[in-house]
Amino acid sequence: MTHLPHPREALAALAADPARRPLLVALDFDGTLAPIVDHPLDARPLPESVTAIERISSVPDVHLALVSGRGLEELAQVTGPVPEGTWLVGAHGAERGRIHEGQYLLEPFELDEAARAVQDELFAGAEDIAARHAEVLAQRKPTTVLVHTKMASPEVEAAATAEAVALGERHGLKTVVGKHIVEIAVHPAHKGDGIDALRRTTKARAVVYVGDDTTDEDALARLTDRDVGIKVGPGDTHARFRVADPVEVAVVLGELAEALGPPART
């Protein structure tokens, strides 16, 4: 694993630079704000991170975004209350929305008929893999099909992962092996496109992006020298900085909130 510096100094310099406002702070959810868990719907953000993002979102000229491979309807089930005005990017960039008066306002998104048919076939294949391997789960998302292997033994995980990758390859689709998952995409959206769109919408002059998984690399690869990209945990990355885990993410976000200055008066 390549050694990367801690982001503390870079974030302090960014927070002190008025030329990099408006600022967009974009955060992956699973493995970043919330520790990875066996069952996806059991995930919850760490309380310390919740406190920090509430403070960050209240600072003038700072925009907060949550970015996830989950569909936004599912994300709403696990995040708990989210600060007013938070931008939302779901399904790896295919879905967008915003928090308004405490509600998730989502832009409509549906796969076309041909893509839905492919997804149906993929999901049937994923369910077959899950049925033949103990503690392996299949899941359908708005634009992808997943095979979850976190609860499986190492031997079972290796076999199920290989079969899931082969399933995606047979269909000629982008297939990503992440942390105890294989995700097969039936739509070309990715987190890099979502971040680019938010940068344009918010007119952000700089972006902080924090993410832990393979799919976050699409967003981290889009960052410039004015931005701060942070990889959570081990693994090769486009990010210039690294932290260990969601606990350290919470510390970093707390320090960023403090460095950004006082919240707007209400």
- What is the model's pLDDT at position 9? 97
The confidence band for 10, taking pLDDT boundaries of 50, 70 and 90, is very high
Of residues 9 and 142, more confidently modeled: 9
pLDDT digits (tens, 9 = 90+) for 148-197: 999 999 999 999 999 999 999 999 998 999 989 999 999 888 899 999 99
- Residue 228 confidence (pLDDT): 98
Is 113-185 a CATH 3.40.50.2000 domain? Answer: no
User: In this model, does residue 231 exceed pLDDT 90?
Assistant: yes
| CB contact at 8 A, 63 and 89 | no
Domain residue extents for the chain: 8-109+189-260, 113-185
Tell whether the model's pLDDT for residue 257 goes beyond 80: yes
Q: Where are the beta strands (DSSP E) in the chain?
A: 23-28, 62-67, 87-90, 95-100, 103-106, 137-140, 144-148, 175-177, 181-185, 206-211, 228-232, 241-243
* Band of pLDDT at residue 3, cut at 50, 70 and 90: confident
What's the confidence (pLDDT) of residue 142? 87
Q: Which is the CATH superfamily of the domain at 8-109+189-260?
A: HAD superfamily/HAD-like (3.40.50.1000)
**What band does 2 get if pLDDT is binned at 50, 70 and 90?**
confident
